[in-house]
């Protein structure tokens, strides 16, 4: 092996090690609850969103016109 070849292999091994460390190591201060998101199933009760009132609709339209 030549010197540049050894250098290339060394850099490749260090990059691979750093990548695997970043993938498998949890970030500092992170909690497991950040990724715990409940998901809807067929058995879960479905919550219906209330339809906006006429006053809310008019307010949204007024806000959109102000931003144009």
pLDDT in tens, 44-55: 667 788 888 999
Asked whether 11 and 18 are in contact (CB, 8 A), the reply is no
pTM for the predicted model, two decimal places: 0.36
Q: What single DSSP character describes residue 68?
A: -
How does DSSP assign 19-52, residue by residue? HHHHHHSPPTT--GGGT------TTSPPPPPPPP
Per-residue pLDDT band for 24 (boundaries 50, 70, 90) equals: confident
The residues, any chain, with a CB within 8 Å of residue 40's CB and separated by 6 or more, are 46
CA distance 67 to 59: 13
């Amino acid at each position: 092996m030549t010197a540049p070849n050894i250098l290339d292999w060394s850099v490749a091994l260090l990059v691979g090690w750093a990548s695997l460390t970043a993938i498998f190591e949890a970030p500092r201060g992170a909690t497991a609850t950040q990724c715990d998101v409940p998901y809807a199933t067929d058995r879960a009760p479905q919550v219906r969103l209330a339809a906006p009132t006429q006053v809310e609709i008019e307010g949204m339209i007024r806000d959109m016109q102000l931003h144009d």
